[in-house]
Chains A and B, each alone.
Chain A
Amino acid sequence: MLEIVPFEPEMAEAVARCYSEVAAPAPFCEPVGGEWFADLKKLERQPLAEEQVLVAVAEGEVVGFAHMGLARPATDDWHCKGEPGVIRFLAYRVRERAVGAALLEAAEGWLRERGRPTIVAGHCNFMYPFYHLPFSHISERMAHVPPLFGMAGYEVEESEVFFAWEDFEAPEVERPEVEVEIVGGWQKQVSEFGPGVELRVLREGKRVGVCEIPTLGSDEWRPELKEWCFCTGLHVDDDIQGRGLGKYLLARGLREARERGPRHALISTDWNNHRAYLFYTNFDYRFLDRTFSFRKALKAARRKGTE
């Protein structure tokens, strides 16, 4: 018999096993231990007001879980707006479709009770720190999960596409004639990630462009990513675009990164950004994965005494 029950600390190992099994087909999703789920604070990304993990148990065995939360008001550019209800992760074993449907219904009920009429599911802002890559939503390779949301009336909200370049050799690109100063190089920490290359483009002291290529793993943290660097930011202001500065920055950043160790490179972009596709594939990045987040407006619960 299937039961949906609130998470208890003693379920941490089993929940971690379930996560590991469901995420396994996606790139860079290595198995994790129960310690991650024993303390939800460890899993924090965009801050949430309240969180709950509901666990599906059948014959004493964990067969799925749904992790929900309530988004706080956005305080940063990258935060989801509008304080949606959030489904951070939904995992159910292949061939247990009824478990997935029951978990999704229970998750929606929990969010509805808390007055969140909109649900965002699988968005990168709320994904676990050990899942996939930065900016990644639900991977298409976790193939039995996206259609569960589709069947329940969710629509694709955002889609991020990932590209990989193994054993990369960045080309020599001549610096274009643009009156800017380019500063920076290898840093101990780039943004919230690990060590890597950070190049800043300055004009009259003001930042007009950036290229950030941190490493994501180490011997201690996500060793599967140790030899990879990921271009998490590549930007040139509108008025100096189209002059080859982006190409120069990426090539230079990659060359500097390569000198420090990473052999492989990653990058991502929004699904609709065809210009970026061409730009990346011209370098020699190749398609790796497509990921999706979903959104659904819940119907208001009917009040007693109303039609």
Chain B
Amino acid sequence: MEIVAFEPEMAEGITRLYNELIEPVPDVHPVPAERFASVGALTSKWLRDERVMVALHDGKAAGFVHVGVARPLDEDPVPKGEPVAIRFLGYRVGQRDVGRRLLEWVDEYAREQKRGTILAWHYFARYPFYHCPWGQLSQRMTHVQALFGMYGYAEAGDSEIYLHWHDFEPPAAPTPPLEVEMKPRWSDGPLGSRMVLRAMQGDRELGSCCMDRGQTSPSPEAEDWCYCDSLDVEDGLQGKGLGKYVLASALEEMRRAGCKHTAISTTWNNYRAALFYTNLGYRFADQTYSFKKVVTRG
């Protein structure tokens, strides 16, 4: 087995491997080989010195890792400290040595870049076609998760849970706790189209909900889905039912537009949000994790 830099002729093999790995993951669909045709096509504006390394076994791609270094940007969601980021690491089940060799290569890369921290699968470096926005390593890719645990990585502590609501029926929007006017605005969005619903009191925005229609990866059902990217209520107005009103109204708007299924996510320990969403009708779909490792720079 050898670890070599990605070449365009490896795109087919890498794509096959990627599609195999994401097969059990909800919300993630196979992609065509053009997606991996060049590293340039996948470059993130938040990373520098990106590299894709491929583990070749008998001339075939048995695993690959995509890394970069976070740019020193004071911009959400870029992490501080310019860590090395593992955007994706995949290898076939049963080939742990492939995974180990790729992680060893990442350690070397971190030393070469003089970085002390490696952040794996953090959402800021997510492939745009992988999982939902904020998606990290799915618990369904268990063997990859285990590899990180075995080789010195710890959970980074910002695990995200995903909730689905198939054939959703918007809850009867409760009477708004305040006199508000709901103002929807449709535009192009990262997944297809985007609807932002604002709860306005005069010129003052008291809350908003952003719904993205579509999915991150191609699927015949993509148009049936909408993902709630954000739900905000002004601090002093929380706990009064405005959030429920805004979300229920946004779901109604999406239903009218033809969406059948909806998804939402929150951090694992945001019990308030999880309780709110699950009591509206959302059901558990997936949990995702990112990992962190401190490397010696010697």
Q: Once the chains bind, are A150 and B269 in contact (CB under 8 Å)?
A: yes
A177 to B280, CA, bound (A): 58
Q: Once the chains bind, are A95 and B279 in contact (CB under 8 Å)?
A: yes
Residues of B near A94 (CB, < 8 A) are: 278-279, 281
**A51, CB-defined interface residue at 8 Å:** no
Q: Once the chains bind, are B271 and A151 in contact (CB under 8 Å)?
A: yes
Q: Once the chains bind, are A147 and B281 in contact (CB under 8 Å)?
A: no
Known A141-B284, A282-B93; contact A97-B275, beta-carbon cutoff 8 A: yes
**Minimum distance in angstroms from B270 CB to a CB of chain A:** 8
**A286, CB-defined interface residue at 8 Å:** yes
**Minimum distance in angstroms from A165 CB to a CB of chain B:** 12
Q: Once the chains bind, are A284 and B146 in contact (CB under 8 Å)?
A: no
Known A277-B149, A278-B147, A281-B146; contact A143-B96, beta-carbon cutoff 8 A: no
Residues of A near B274 (CB, < 8 A) are: 143, 146-147, 150
Known A143-B274, A151-B271, A287-B139; contact A95-B146, beta-carbon cutoff 8 A: no
Number of A-B contacts (CB under 8 A): 81
**Minimum distance in angstroms from B67 CB to a CB of chain A:** 21
Q: Once the chains bind, are A144 and B275 in contact (CB under 8 Å)?
A: yes
Total A residues in contact with B, Cβ cutoff 8 Å: 26
Total B residues in contact with A, Cβ cutoff 8 Å: 30
Q: Once the chains bind, are B163 and A277 in contact (CB under 8 Å)?
A: no
**A123, CB-defined interface residue at 8 Å:** no
117-156 of chain A: CB within 8 A of chain B: 140-141, 143-144, 146-148, 150-151
139-171 of chain B: CB within 8 A of chain A: 139-140, 142-143, 145-150, 161, 163, 171
**A275, CB-defined interface residue at 8 Å:** yes
Q: Once the chains bind, are A278 and B146 in contact (CB under 8 Å)?
A: yes
A147 to B274, CA, bound (A): 6
Residues of B near A275 (CB, < 8 A) are: 146, 150
**A184, CB-defined interface residue at 8 Å:** no
* B residues apposed to A, CB below 8 Å: 24, 93-94, 96, 139-140, 142-143, 145-150, 161, 163, 171, 269, 271-272, 274-275, 278-284, 287
* A residues apposed to B, CB below 8 Å: 25, 94-97, 140-141, 143-144, 146-148, 150-151, 163, 272, 274-275, 277-278, 281-282, 284, 286-287, 290
The 4 A-B pairs with the shortest beta carbon distances in the complex, nearest first, are A274-B149, A150-B271, A277-B146, A144-B278
